Amino acid sequence: MKKIKVAFICQNCGHQSPKWMGKCPSCGEWNQFVEEELRETTQSAEIGFDEAPVPIGSIEDDEKDRIGIGIADMDHVLGGGIVRGSAVLIGGDPGIGKSTLLLQVMHYLAETGLKVLYISGEESGRQIKMRGKRIGASSPNLFVLVEISLENILKYIGELKPEVVVVDSIQTIYSSALSSAPGSVSQIREASEKLILTSKKTGIPSFLIGHVTKEGTIAGPRVLEHMVDTVLYFEGDSGHAFRIVRSVKNRFGPTNEIAVFEMKGDGLSEVTNPSALFLSERPTGAAGSAVVPSIEGTRPILVEIQSLVSETTFGIPRRTTIGVDHNRVSLLAAVLDKVCGFHLGNHDIFINVAGGVKLVEPAVDLGIVSSMMSSFLDRPIDSATVVCGEVGLTGEVRGVNQVEARIREAARMGFNRCVLPRIISSDLAVKEKMELVEIGTVKELLDFLF
Ligand code: TYD
Ligand code: MG
């Protein structure tokens, strides 16, 4: 009898161990080891591409050959449309709209005459039909397959020869070659390997939907993100109607590009002017609100940062942030304390980025500082002023990139004054009517604003 090989595999990072462990030595997570049967090695002829080496000049490129989706922002996020043979992974919280978005994408593609296949392992045909009705997807070119068996999926892809494939979701796909349960690391790895390979070999682009863990990363092995060409994340909380699709990895375009959508009764609709949307509910003349022109990917977007700084009434001061990095806020509060002499140590600080946007670039530092100080001093910031700049540990204001683009967006939205780092403003070519205020330190910023 053949001996079955088993191993304990960390469900977080894929680390293998011959025995069960409480803590994974590789990623440090607790209680992640699950016993799984190891896969027999497949014959190499089956998995290889079997192509001879060729000079790079003689390889055809598909740059012109991208498939346009027709949702302008979605094309933008992908770097200019779908690349043939690519695999795109889309992650996001449950109920955020992954299935809806991809069904819409498939609907648009089908309308242009492409044969597309939507594979679902989560919903029944009826449920997909119901969703399709809401978003108006009824094209005869849109095929639906309800299936979780990897072998059957590959068979139908081979038979139908679609031009784009969606797999909703990769965690539900099950290969009978392995005995471990669907959703386990080995199954996810096997299913994605085979699907990605099929894409590469046949040139059919595939979209894989992935669940996320409670930490916000795509469930399953981290290698999944390495294997695919593009990783998109769906952001935004279900309390808001706004949804942001962000590219965090893209082999065929810039990363951190975003597309903004609004969830409506008939599916997701594109928001063509995100700045207007994020600023639409801005209070006028209220202390604690600052507007920053933030660069998301390659395009500038204006967002409002709100702060509430109030004296701690009980115990340890709280620092709560939504949309900006918690540690960054603590750091900036420390700078204000040490360099400018404002003692925030006995104050609670709450910071929120309006509209559910997540800001990651350091250029928003000045916005955080301004809104915190505005709330602390109870003095509103002039409503036609935007601020941008990175703050260093000694209170100096550091340069940011793409200043012209930021200023242009601010001017477009009716702002007439921009506070920016002194270092960069000497060689600026700004045509817009905009008063530029140069500052070198946080102290200068506060002197100017308040
Ligand atoms: P869904 O695409 O099922 O999310 P996911 O696949 O990421 O889990 O989105 C479901 C949510 O979207 C659900 O709360 C209902 C809402 N929704 C609308 O508001 N309008 C619509 O037209 C559709 C199809 C869904
Ligand atoms: Mg879904």
Residue 381 has pLDDT above 90, yes or no: yes
pLDDT-derived band at 220 (thresholds 50, 70, 90) equals low
Average pLDDT value for residue range 353-381? 91
Claim to verify: residue 439 and residue 313 sit in the same structural domain: yes
**Could you say which of 272, 294, 314 is where a domain stops?**
272
Pairwise CA distance, residues 255 & 119, whole Å: 27
Asked whether the beta carbons of 199 and 87 are under 8 A apart, the reply is yes
Over range 258-265, report the average pLDDT: 88
Query: Is the same domain home to 89 and 203?
Result: yes
The whole-number pLDDT of residue 115 equals: 94
Residue 161 has pLDDT above 90, yes or no: yes
Confidence check: pLDDT of 169 > 50: yes
- Alpha-carbon distance of 153 to 361, in angstroms, equals 41
CA-closest residue to ligand 1 atom 23: 267
Residue 38, pLDDT > 80, answer: no
99 lines ligand 1 (CB under 6 A): yes
User: Which pLDDT belongs to residue 138?
Assistant: 87
Same domain (yes/no): 319, 191: no
Q: Does ligand 1 have an atom closer than 6 angstroms to the CB of 210?
A: no
Answer whether 388's CB lies under 8 Å from 368's CB: no
Query: CA-CA distance, 391 to 169, in Å (whole number)?
Result: 42
Q: Specify if 51 maps to a domain.
A: no
Give the pLDDT score at 44.
45
- The CATH number of the domain holding residue 142 is 3.40.50.300
The closest residue, in CA terms, to atom 14 on ligand 1 is: 95
Binding site membership of 89 for ligand 1 (Cβ less than 6 Å): no
For residue 195 and ligand 1, the question of a CB distance below 6 A is answered with no
- DSSP, res 82: B
Query: Do residues 235 and 289 both lie within one domain?
Result: no
In a domain, 49, yes or no: no
- Nearest ligand to residue 240 Cα: 1
CB distance 25 to ligand 1 below 6 Å: no
Tell me: do 79 and 122 sit in the same domain.
Answer: yes
**372 found inside a domain:** yes
CATH code of residue 406? 3.30.230.10
Do 186 and 231 lie in one domain? The reply is yes
Nearest-atom number in ligand 1 for the CA of 93 is 7
Give the residue with greater pLDDT, 256 vs 237. 256
Domain count of the fold of the chain: 3
pLDDT tens digits for 301-311?
899 999 999 99
Q: How far apart are CA 90 and CA 212, in angstroms?
A: 10
Q: Which of 129, 168, 263 maximizes ligand 1 atoms within 8 Å of its Cβ, making it the mutation to test the pocket?
A: 263
Q: How far is the CA of 267 from the centre of ligand 1 (A)?
A: 7
- Please tell me whether residues 263 and 287 are part of one structural domain: no
- Mean pLDDT is lowest, of 30-34, 159-163, 318-322, for 30-34
Ligand 1, residue 101: give the atom nearest the CA.
Answer: 2
Q: Cα(432)–Cα(405) distance, rounded to whole angstroms? A: 11
Ligand 2 centroid–CA 314 distance in Å is 43
| Structure-model confidence comparison of residues 240 and 427, the more confident one | 240
65 lines ligand 1 (CB under 6 A): no
Percent of the chain predicted with pLDDT > 70: 93
Domain that holds residue 353: 277-449
The pLDDT confidence band at residue 395, using thresholds 50, 70 and 90, is: very high
94 lines ligand 1 (CB under 6 A): yes
Residue 185 CA, chain-centre distance (Å), reads 22
Does residue 80 belong to any structural domain of this protein? yes
pLDDT for 47 beyond 70: no
**In the block, residue with structure tokens 């639409």:** 280
pLDDT of 345 reads 86
291 shares its domain with 333 = yes
pLDDT digits (tens, 9 = 90+) for 88-104: 999 988 888 999 999 99
Tell me the average pLDDT across 20-33: 88
Q: Is the dihedral of CA 80, 219, 166, 164 positive or negative?
A: positive
pLDDT at 41 over 70: no
For residue 123, the ligand closest to its alpha carbon is: 2
Average pLDDT, the chain: 87
Note whether 347 and 399 are same-domain residues.
Answer: yes
Instruction: Flag whether 60 is in a domain.
Output: no
* Nearest listed ligand to the Cα of residue 235: 1
Q: How confident is the model at residue 158 (pLDDT cuts 50, 70, 90)?
A: very high
Q: How far is the CA of 93 from the centre of ligand 2 (A)?
A: 10
Average pLDDT over residues 168-189: 87
Question: Closest ligand 1 atom to the C-alpha of 131?
Answer: 24
* Residue 370 pLDDT: 95
Which residue type is seen at 175? S
Q: How far apart are CA 355 and CA 102, in angstroms?
A: 23
Residues with CB under 5 A from ligand 2 (ion): 99
Same domain, 25 and 146: no
Q: Which residue has the higher pLDDT, 41 or 143?
A: 143
Confidence of residue 2 (pLDDT cuts 50, 70, 90): low
Place of tokens 């990623």: 27
Looking at the fold, whether 363 and 349 belong to one and the same domain comes out as yes
Pair 291, 214 in one domain: no
Residue 63 CA to residue 57 CA, distance in Å, equals: 14
- Per-residue confidence band for 59, with pLDDT thresholds at 50, 70 and 90: confident
**Among residues of the chain, what percentage have pLDDT more than 90?**
46
> How is residue 373 written in tokens?
């100080």
Q: What is the pLDDT of residues 112-145, one digit of tens each?
A: 999 999 999 999 999 999 999 999 988 999 999 9
Q: Which of 40-44, 183-187, 278-282, 339-343 is predicted least confidently?
A: 40-44
